[in-house]
């Protein structure tokens, strides 16, 4: 029984560390941990945390989303001088999508990106939570979209069907860019009626495109927007008249999206910030405070329920839950994760799953004990048997998170801040709940629990 004691001591150290990281900032954060008085202005440590060979240089601050704490509101005006009037709404939508994608690559920050029109002015409204790095965000957003045609450097990959994912590394430019493309639009095949995307090049582009396609017959030609591949169709024949169609299994919606993306490069719309200001939360602070209080009441009832149903075991599970809360919150601060209301919903659900692991274990333990096994054996068996279901149940949740987060940035899956934020908070919550459900509760019981 030496190793549980050691783990127990490690857990206590971890708790102390987490409490330090989780120290409330200027606002009153009502965590009922220890004796930290709420009316004092307490701040978490700035950066002074040095572990052997490892040094954090980060402020442990909670990053709240637009809905909870507001942020920066930017109005970008699109310059439509060069764009024919009929193409303007489409060009605005293209610009909006380019901006949204850039912001999403900028980090998990749950922005709002909306197109907006007042009479003749075409605008994109961008709202970013917090005020950090607004200048960097602004310069990133302000760039005009860059469309580029590239070929695979390795012929093998180019002919190997559509299975190879083009990247900047395995492709090289063919010299054709968005400047050479006049426009892209959705059209329908005369024979089959299926949607496709038609490209129209300007005279110079047509000549170059003719050269490139006659060279690449049977191979793929990848098209990159902002250094990110959006499509890589196979060249079937040399196209010399400057009019190409991309066919192949499009839905109308899919063809529209691709046409918009191509147009973002073909009809690049310069944008410039005309306004920048701070805004308050979309959810009123009173409403948020009320909800947080309600969440705490809910947590308290859950804790009480565990104690009434499982006695001292329930109390130990509650201790593990407190550690779970501290751990998750610390990870949110470390990464950092922008905390929004949907994110908190994911967090609450993962608390539910953390409690569930404990309930499963305790129910198993009771069953084994009913069969007449000594309590210590029953407890270990309970942990062992509950593990199968805890594992399978959590793996499916992790799988869902993984797909929603879309780490490969696959274009057919969402890469938006909102869905991502939800996925990542649930993911962290589930991992932390596995840790507390299995390691923490088990150690607490091994060290602190004795049956009469």
Partner 1 sequence: MIRFSKYIWLYFFISALVLVPGVFALVRWGLKPAIDFTGGTLLELQFASDIPASAIEIIGKNEQMPIASVQKTEGNTFIVRMNPEGSEQIAKFQSSLAQATKEMPQVLRNETVGPVLGKELLGKTVIAALVAIIGILLYVAWAFKNYKFGLSAVLALAHDLSVVLGMFALFGHFLNIEVDTLFVTAVLTTMSFSVHDTIVVFDRIREMLKRADRSAGADFDALCDRALTQTMGRSLANSLTIIFMLVAIALLGGTTIRWFVVALLIGTVSGTYSSPFIATPILILWDRWEKRKKI
Among 279, 334, 377, 448, interactor with partner 1 by CB under 8 A: 279
Distance CA 338, CA 428 (A): 13
Is residue 286 part of the contact set for partner 1 (CB under 8 A)? Answer: yes
User: Which part of the chain contacts partner 1 (CB under 8 A), choosing from 22-30, 163-171, 219-227, 275-283?
Assistant: 275-283
Distance CA 244, CA 234 (A): 12
User: Which part of the chain contacts partner 1 (CB under 8 A), choosing from 26-34, 115-123, 197-205, 376-384?
Assistant: 115-123
DSSP-derived 3-state class of residue 438 = helix
User: Closest Cα partner for 187 from 246, 267, 237?
Assistant: 246
Q: Compare residues 49 and 398 and give the one whose CB is closer to partner 1.
A: 398
Scan residues 308-327 and list those touching partner 1 (CB under 8 A): 309
Among 394, 436, 441, 443, interactor with partner 1 by CB under 8 A: 394
Among 7, 116, 138, 144, interactor with partner 1 by CB under 8 A: 116
H-type helices in 59-144, by residue range? 66-69, 88-106, 134-142
Site string for partner 1, 329-358 (x = CB under 8 A): ------------xx--xx-xx-xxx-xx--
Distance CA 124, CA 93 (A): 9
- Cα–Cα distances (Å) from 281 to 312, 370, 402, in that order, read 42, 54, 29
The answer to whether 316 touches 286, Cβ cutoff 8 Å, is no
As a dihedral over the C-alpha atoms of residue 349, residue 435, residue 322, residue 70, rounded to 10 degrees, the angle is -50
DSSP-derived 3-state class of residue 108 = coil
- Cα–Cα distances (Å) from 47 to 50, 51, 56, 334, in that order, read 9, 12, 6, 11
What is the total count of residues that contact partner 1 (CB under 8 A)? 79
Distance CA 124, CA 139 (A): 15
In angstroms, how far is the first alpha carbon of the chain from the final one? 19
We find the least distance from the C-beta atom of residue 397 to partner 1, in angstroms, to be: 5
Is residue 131 part of the contact set for partner 1 (CB under 8 A)? Answer: no
Among 290, 312, 376, 408, interactor with partner 1 by CB under 8 A: 290
Q: Compare residues 167 and 287 and give the one whose CB is closer to partner 1.
A: 287
Count the neighbouring beta carbons within 10 Å of the beta carbon of residue 70: 20
Among 12, 13, 403, 448, interactor with partner 1 by CB under 8 A: 403
Give the containing element (helix H, strand E) for 78.
Answer: strand 71-78
Is residue 282 part of the contact set for partner 1 (CB under 8 A)? Answer: yes
Which residues are within 8 A (CB) of 143 and not within 5 positions of it... i.e. 6 or more apart? 102
User: Which part of the chain contacts partner 1 (CB under 8 A), choosing from 79-87, 145-153, 185-193, 280-288?
Assistant: 280-288
Scan residues 43-102 and list those touching partner 1 (CB under 8 A): 70, 73, 93, 96-97
Q: Is the CA virtual torsion 81, 84, 90, 94 positive or negative?
A: negative
We find the least distance from the C-beta atom of residue 296 to partner 1, in angstroms, to be: 9
Is residue 406 part of the contact set for partner 1 (CB under 8 A)? Answer: yes
We find the least distance from the C-beta atom of residue 441 to partner 1, in angstroms, to be: 15
Give the containing element (helix H, strand E) for 109.
Answer: none
Looking at residue 245, the DSSP 8-state letter turns out to be: E
Is residue 294 part of the contact set for partner 1 (CB under 8 A)? Answer: yes
Among 136, 388, 448, 451, interactor with partner 1 by CB under 8 A: 388
Angle (CA) 39 41 43, round 5°: 135
Q: Compare residues 14 and 419 and give the one whose CB is closer to partner 1.
A: 419
Among 11, 216, 319, 359, interactor with partner 1 by CB under 8 A: 359
Site string for partner 1, 171-210 (x = CB under 8 A): ----------------------------------------
Q: Compare residues 70 and 242 and give the one whose CB is closer to partner 1.
A: 70
Is residue 374 part of the contact set for partner 1 (CB under 8 A)? Answer: no
Count the neighbouring beta carbons within 10 Å of the beta carbon of residue 84: 10
User: Which part of the chain contacts partner 1 (CB under 8 A), choosing from 135-143, 225-233, 416-424, 437-445?
Assistant: 416-424
Is residue 134 part of the contact set for partner 1 (CB under 8 A)? Answer: no
């Amino acid at each position: 029984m030496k190793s549980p004691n050691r783990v127990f001591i490690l857990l206590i150290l971890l708790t102390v560390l987490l409490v330090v990281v989780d120290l409330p900032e200027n606002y009153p954060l009502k965590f009922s941990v220890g004796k930290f008085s709420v009316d004092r202005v307490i701040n978490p440590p700035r950066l002074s945390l040095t572990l052997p060979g490892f040094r954090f240089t980060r402020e442990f601050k909670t990053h709240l989303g637009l809905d909870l704490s507001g942020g920066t509101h930017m109005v970008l005006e699109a310059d439509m001088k060069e764009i024919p009037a009929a193409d303007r709404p489409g060009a605005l939508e293209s610009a909006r999508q380019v901006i949204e994608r850039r912001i999403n690559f900028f980090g998990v920050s749950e922005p709002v990106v909306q197109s907006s029109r007042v009479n003749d002015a075409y605008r994109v409204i961008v709202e970013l939570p917090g005020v950090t790095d607004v200048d960097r965000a602004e310069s990133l957003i302000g760039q005009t979209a860059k469309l580029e045609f590239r070929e695979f450097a390795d012929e093998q990959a180019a002919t190997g069907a559509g299975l190879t994912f083009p990247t900047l590394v395995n492709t090289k430019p063919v010299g054709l860019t968005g400047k050479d493309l006049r426009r892209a639009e959705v059209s329908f095949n005369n024979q089959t009626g299926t949607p496709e995307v038609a490209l129209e090049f300007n005279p110079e582009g047509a000549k170059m495109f003719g050269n490139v396609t006659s060279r690449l017959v049977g191979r793929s030609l990848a098209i990159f927007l902002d250094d990110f591949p959006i499509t890589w169709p196979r060249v079937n024949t040399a196209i010399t008249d400057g009019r190409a169609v991309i066919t192949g299994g499009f839905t109308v919606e899919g063809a529209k999206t691709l046409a918009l993306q191509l147009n973002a490069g073909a009809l690049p719309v310069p944008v410039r910030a005309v306004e920048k200001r701070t805004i308050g939360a979309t959810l009123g602070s009173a409403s948020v405070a009320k909800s947080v209080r309600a969440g705490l009441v809910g947590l308290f009832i859950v804790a009480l329920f565990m104690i009434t149903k499982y006695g001292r075991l329930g109390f130990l599970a509650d201790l593990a839950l407190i550690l779970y809360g501290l751990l998750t919150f610390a990870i949110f601060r470390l990464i950092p994760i922008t905390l929004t209301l949907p994110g908190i919903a994911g967090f609450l659900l993962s608390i539910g799953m953390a409690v569930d692991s404990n309930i499963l274990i305790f129910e198993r333990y009771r069953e084994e004990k009913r069969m007449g096994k000594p309590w210590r054996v029953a407890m270990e068996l309970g942990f062992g048997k509950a593990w199968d279901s805890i594992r399978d149940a959590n793996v499916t949740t992790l799988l869902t998170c993984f797909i929603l987060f879309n780490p490969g940035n696959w274009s057919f899956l969402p890469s938006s801040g909102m869905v991502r934020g939800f996925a990542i908070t649930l993911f962290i919550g589930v991992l932390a709940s596995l840790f507390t459900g299995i390691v923490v509760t088990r150690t607490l019981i091994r060290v602190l629990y004795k049956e009469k």
